[in-house]
Amino acid sequence: MCPVCRARFRGSTECSRCGADLTNIMALQVKAWRLRETARQAVMSDDSTRAKELAAQAEEIHSTPAGKHIQFLSSWLAGNLLAKSFGPGEETPGSIE
């Protein structure tokens, strides 16, 4: 989406509505997409810690629903989601004593 006039991308590096140069914006979106793809591959390779890092980097560049899902999944797989949800000394669901 064009940051100047909010028009949708039309496959050109110049906004079809206002003429703004979209080259840098498009490059950032591609970089975030590549990071999300690499994060997906890391999840598939059982490297949830790396997946979490990559997903976080992608979200910093360009936040998307897919990026949030990857970040949530990789955090859960890495065991960090439950650790953040419960305070010290609290039992997490499913914990075995």
DSSP string, 3-65: TTT-PPP-SSSB-TTT--B-HHHHHHHHHHHHHHHHHHHHHHTT-HHHHHHHHHHHHHHS--H
Domain boundaries, the chain: 28-84
pLDDT band per the 50, 70, 90 thresholds, residue 52: very high
Tokens of 95: 């914990």
Mean pLDDT check: name the lowest of 8-12, 66-70, 77-81: 77-81
Task: Work out the pLDDT band at 89, boundaries 50, 70, 90.
Answer: low
pLDDT at site 96: 46
Q: Classify residue 80 by burial, with Cβ atoms within 10 Å: 0-12, 13-18, 19+.
A: middle
Residue 73's region, left for phi above 0, alpha for psi from -120 to 50, else beta, is alpha
Does the structure show a pLDDT above 80 at 86? no
Closest CA to 68 of 77, 58, 80: 58
pLDDT at 59 over 50: yes
Does position 47 have pLDDT exceeding 70, yes or no? yes
